[in-house]
């Protein structure tokens, strides 16, 4: 009997509030759904069975890779899609996907993931051949990438990009329990692998979420110090710089040197560019800030899909409004009004932007000698 093409594999624990949405979204996409339950006390198992999934019990042993690999071991499909209970497939073309999975040279395919509601998407390796040498590694931040890299190098295979879209909703609800669960796992991973940058960043984010601001800063600084010893870095390695710089700016502390370093090393991180521009405005370097805001203003957040997910507020309307502010501070009121008008066109119900556009137009209409420094404030 021929193996099914695609199995969806999940690990679940007490996910009754969201599980059915996830599993329903897989109908028509996955030929098989395997749910590994790691100790639910709610009715997650019943929900999974009612949605047509095959359910297995797996005692939780504080190892995400082990649980995910148990699901893969139980899956019979030629390919596996890993997805979480608080996620949902929101768009796919089965015929297009079948063609990609049918290519013998493809070891894996990326999907477009929106990790936070409203954020931009980025590509993540969620589809891969279900074979014994492609398994997850890591007790937390488990990843298929090390095994996938080995396979591609060994057999000359490659990774394709698919049009499959997945939305993650886990951050739409209280994450305190998740942070408390992750904290000892992150410490354990860093004890075993102290150079794992993403875990240092996540440790900082977890500590910050739990109210330990100083601990968060320490974790991010540890990551930055490690990165300074390395000649190359991925876009994901910019996250400790990003959150450390944001915290410094929010605390009204000097972040200029850190942002200069970060932007030089990660010139394609749009969130760093926004923070750099924000810092330049604080330093009254409006011309320099406008160069960065202008670049951000032209980015379409809906179509953007690169190595990171971004809060879309740094693009489009807010970037045009920031350009309006800088031009206003420079006394270029007509230019300021034009920027605010572009922002208003994108957000016609934003009364604050409308008032700023009207003020800039009024100032532009005044004789130059009547415009004071206070007017530019």
Domain boundary, last residue among 119, 151, 172: 172
Same domain, 70 and 210: no
The answer to whether the CB of 163 falls within 8 A of the CB of 93 is yes
Same domain, 89 and 155: yes
Same domain, 202 and 327: no
78 falls within a domain: yes
Q: Per-residue b/e over 297-315, b at no fewer than 16 CB within 10 Å? A: bebebeebbeebbbebebb
So what's the pLDDT on residue 1?
Answer: 66
Print the domain residue range for 366: 268-377
Same domain, 147 and 189: no
Same domain, 199 and 223: yes
Compute the distance between CA of residue 107 and CA of residue 156 in angstroms, rounded to an integer.
9
The number of CA neighbours under 13 Å toward the Cβ of 232 is 1
Which of 367, 370, 282, 291 minimizes the C-alpha distance to 329?
A: 282
CATH number at residue 299: 1.25.40.10
261 falls within a domain: no
The answer to whether the CB of 272 falls within 8 A of the CB of 245 is yes
Q: Report the DSSP beta bridge partners of residue 167.
A: 88, 114
157 falls within a domain: yes
So what's the pLDDT on residue 369?
Answer: 59
Compute the distance between CA of residue 340 and CA of residue 322 in angstroms, rounded to an integer.
9
Q: Per-residue b/e over 219-229, b at no fewer than 16 CB within 10 Å? A: bbebbbebbee
pTM of the model: 0.88
257 falls within a domain: no
Same domain, 155 and 208: no
So what's the pLDDT on residue 374?
Answer: 47
334 falls within a domain: yes
Same domain, 226 and 367: no
187 falls within a domain: yes
Compute the distance between CA of residue 19 and CA of residue 128 in angstroms, rounded to an integer.
23
Same domain, 332 and 291: yes
Same domain, 153 and 116: yes
Per-residue pLDDT of the chain (377 residues; tens, 9 = 90+): 688 999 999 999 999 999 999 999 999 999 999 999 999 999 999 999 999 999 999 999 999 999 999 999 999 999 999 999 999 999 899 999 999 999 999 999 999 999 999 999 999 999 999 999 999 999 998 999 999 999 999 999 999 999 999 999 988 877 888 899 999 999 999 999 999 999 999 999 999 999 999 999 999 999 999 999 998 789 999 999 999 999 999 999 999 999 999 999 999 999 999 999 999 999 999 999 999 999 999 999 999 998 899 999 999 999 999 999 999 999 999 999 999 999 999 999 999 999 999 999 999 999 875 555 445 55
Compute the distance between CA of residue 306 and CA of residue 236 in angstroms, rounded to an integer.
11
Which of 175, 186, 107, 206 minimizes the C-alpha distance to 142?
A: 186
Tell me how many domains the chain contains: 3
Same domain, 158 and 196: no
Domain boundary, last residue among 172, 204, 236: 172
263 falls within a domain: no
CATH number at residue 57: 3.90.550.10
256 falls within a domain: no
DSSP state, residue 143: B
So what's the pLDDT on residue 307?
Answer: 87
Domain boundary, last residue among 172, 200, 215: 172
The answer to whether the CB of 13 falls within 8 A of the CB of 38 is yes
Same domain, 163 and 211: no
Same domain, 193 and 168: no
Residue 246 has which token pair? Answer: 């944001």
């Amino acid at each position: 009997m021929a193996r099914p093409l695609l199995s969806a594999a999940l690990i679940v624990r007490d996910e009754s509030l969201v599980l059915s949405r996830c599993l329903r979204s897989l109908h028509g996409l996955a030929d098989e759904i395997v749910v590994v339950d790691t100790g639910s006390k709610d009715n997650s198992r019943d929900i999974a069975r009612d949605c047509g999934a095959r359910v297995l019990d797996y005692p939780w042993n504080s190892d995400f890779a082990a649980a995910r690999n148990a699901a893969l071991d139980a899956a019979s499909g030629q390919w596996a899609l890993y997805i979480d209970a608080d996620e949902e497939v929101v768009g796919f073309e089965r015929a297009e996907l079948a063609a990609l999975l049918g290519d013998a040279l493809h070891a894996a395919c990326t999907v477009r993931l929106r990790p936070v509601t409203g954020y931009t998407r980025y590509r993540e390796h969620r589809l891969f051949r279900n074979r014994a040498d492609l398994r997850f590694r890591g007790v937390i931040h488990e990843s298929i990438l090390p095994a996938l890299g080995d396979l591609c190098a060994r057999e000359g295979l490659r990774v394709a990009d698919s049009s499959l879209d997945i939305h993650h909703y886990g951050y739409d609800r209280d994450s305190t329990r998740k942070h408390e669960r992750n904290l000892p796992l992150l410490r354990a991973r860093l004890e075993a692998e102290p150079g794992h940058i993403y875990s240092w960043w996540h440790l900082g984010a977890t500590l910050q979420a739990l109210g330990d601001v100083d601990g968060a800063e320490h974790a991010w600084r540890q990551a930055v110090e490690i990165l300074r010893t390395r000649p190359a870095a991925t876009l994901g390695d910019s996250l400790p710089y990003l959150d450390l710089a944001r915290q410094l700016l929010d605390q009204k502390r000097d972040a200029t040197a850190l942002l200069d370093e970060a932007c030089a090393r990660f010139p394609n991180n749009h969130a760093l560019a926004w923070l750099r521009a924000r810092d330049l405005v604080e330093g009254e370097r409006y011309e320099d800030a406008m160069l960065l805001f202008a670049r951000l203003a032209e980015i379409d957040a809906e179509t953007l899909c690169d190595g990171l997910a971004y809060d879309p507020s740094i693009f489009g309307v807010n970037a045009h409004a920031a350009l309006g502010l800088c031009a206003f501070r420079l006394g270029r009121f007509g230019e300021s009004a034009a920027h605010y008008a572009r922002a208003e066109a994108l957000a016609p119900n934003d009364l604050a932007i409308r008032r700023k556009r009207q003020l800039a137009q009024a100032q532009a209409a005044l004789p130059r000698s009547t415009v004071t420094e206070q007017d530019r404030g």
